[in-house]
Structure 1
Amino acid sequence: MLLMSTLSALWLATFAWCVKGEEENVKSIGLRTHSLAQPYLDSDMQSRWYDFGGDTIIRTDQYIRLTSDRPSQMGWLFSRVPLTATNWEIEVEFKIHGKNTLYGDGLAMWLTKERGKLGPVFGSADRFEGLGIFIDTYKNNRPGVVFPYVMAMVGDGKTSYDKDTDGKNVEFAGCSARGLRGATIPTKLRLTYFQDKYLKLELQYKSVGEWTLCFETNQPPAIPQVAYLGFSAETGELSDNHDIISIEARNLYTAQPTSRPTPGSGRGKKATKEGSSWGWFFTKIMIFFLVIGGIYVGFTAWRASNRRSHRF
Structure 2
Amino acid sequence: SGEKMKRKGARLGERVLRASWRSRAVMVTLAVIAACVRLVGGQGKAVTFPRFPKGDAYRSFEHPFQQDDISPVKNFVFFGDAAVRTRPMTYLVKKEPVDHVRLTPSLPGRSGLIVNSFRTRGVDFDAAVDVEILKGARSAKTADGMAFWLLKDVPQSGPVYGIENKFSGLGIIVDTYSNSYRRNHPYVYAWVNNGMVEWDDNADGHGVELVPGCEIDKVRLDAPTRLSIQLRDGSLRVAYSVGHFYAWKVCFEAHNVRLPFNDNGVFALSGSTGTFFAEHFVSRLAIEVVDEGPGVSRIPIRSSEYLSMRASEKDTARQAIDESSYRNERMQVDTEEEQQLESSIKDYTEEVDAEISSFMDELDSDTAKRLLEFRVSFGRTFPKLIRSGKMVTEAHAVQRRLEDVIKDVGSISDELQDEFEALHSKVRQLSDTVRFLSSYSAQMHGKSRSSKLVAENEYSRSQSHTGLILFAVVAQLACAVIFLLSKDGAAVLNQLGASGARLV
1:178 alignment partner AA: D
Structure 1: unaligned runs, 5 residues or longer? 1-20, 254-312
Partner residue of 2:74 out of 24, 40, 48: 48
1:1-312 equivalence runs, <5 A: 22-23=46-47, 30-42=55-67, 44=69, 46=71, 47-59=73-85, 61-98=98-135, 99=137, 100-143=139-182, 145-173=183-211, 174-184=213-223, 186-196=224-234, 198-205=235-242, 207-222=244-259, 224=261, 225-252=263-290
CA distance in 2, matches of 1:204, 1:53: 28
Question: Whole-Å Cα distance in 1 between the matches of residues 68 and 264 of structure 2?
Answer: 29
Aligned equivalents of 1:81, 1:43: Cα separation in 2: 14
Taking the aligned partners of 2:259 and 2:104, their CA distance within structure 1 comes to 30
The residue number in structure 2 matching 1:304 is none
Aligned residues: 231
Does the CA-based 8 Å contact 2:52-2:228 persist in structure 1? no
Q: Distance in 2 between matches of 1:109 and 1:24?
A: 21
Aligned partners of 2:122 and 2:265 also within 8 Å: no
Render the CA deviation track for 1:175-195: whole Å, top value 9, x for unaligned. Answer: 1112444443x2010111112
Task: State the alpha-carbon separation in 2 of the partners of residues 199 and 217 from structure 1.
Answer: 5
- What letter corresponds to residue 89 of structure 1 in structure 2? D
Deviation at 1:248, TM superposition (A): 0.9
TM (normalized to structure 1)? 0.68
**Which stretch shifts more, 78-87 or 167-176?**
78-87
2:267 counterpart letter in structure 1: L
Label 1:156 to 1:96 Cα distance change in 2 as closer, same or farther (>3 A): same
Gaps of 5+ in 2: 1-44, 87-97, 292-504
Distance 1:43 1:117 in 2: 21
Counterparts in 2 of 1:103 and 1:217: CA distance versus 1, 3 Å: closer
Whether contact under 8 Å (1:180, 1:187) holds in the other structure is no
**In structure 1, the residue corresponding to 2:258 is in which secondary structure?**
coil
| Deviating more after overlay: 208-217 vs 40-49 | 40-49
Q: Distance in 1 between matches of 2:247 and 2:53?
A: 21
The CA distance in 1 between the partners of 2:198 and 2:129, in whole Å, is 26
More helix by share: 2
* Residue aligned with 2:58, SS: helix
Alignment check: 8 A CA contact 2:153 2:168 kept: yes
For 1:111, the aligned partner's letter is L
Distance 1:163 1:86, change over 3 A: closer
Q: 1:24 to 1:161 in 2, by over 3 A?
A: closer
Q: Which moved more, 1:66-75 or 1:111-120?
A: 111-120
- More strand, by proportion: 1
Deviation of the 1:45 alpha carbon = 6.9
Distance of aligned partners of 1:123 and 1:24 in 2 relative to their CA distance in 1, 3 Å threshold: closer
Task: State the alpha-carbon separation in 2 of the partners of residues 24 and 88 from structure 1.
Answer: 12
Q: Distance in 2 between matches of 1:237 and 1:168?
A: 21
How far apart, CA to CA, are the structure 2 residues paired with 1:36 and 1:115? 19
Q: Distance in 2 between matches of 1:164 and 1:194?
A: 32
- AA at the equivalent of 2:85: R
Q: Is the 8 A contact 2:179 2:204 kept in 1?
A: yes
**TM-score by structure 2 length?**
0.43
Code of the residue aligned with 1:241 in structure 2: it is: E
Counterpart secondary structure, 1:249? strand
Letter in 2 for 1:33: Y
Q: Which residue type is aligned with residue 151 of structure 2?
A: T
Structure number with greater CO (CA < 8 Å, separation at least 6) is 1
Report the AA paired with residue 62 of structure 2: A
Deviates more, 1:103-112 or 1:53-62: 53-62
Q: Distance in 1 between matches of 2:142 and 2:233?
A: 37
- CA spacing shift, 1:83–1:201, aligned 2, 3 Å: same
Deviation at 1:251, TM superposition (A): 3.5
Shift of 1:29: 6.5
Identity %: 27
Contact 1:27 1:252 in 2 (8 A): no
* Higher Rg of the two aligned structures: 2
Deviation at 1:216, TM superposition (A): 1.1
Per-residue CA distance 1:21-48 (angstroms, 9 max, x = gap): 8326999763112111123242657333
User: 1:34, 1:180 → 2: CA distance?
Assistant: 28
Go from structure 1 to structure 2 and tell me whether the alpha carbon gap of 1:110 and 1:89 turns closer, same or farther (over 3 Å shift): same
Counterpart-to-counterpart distance in 2, 1:228 and 1:38: 23
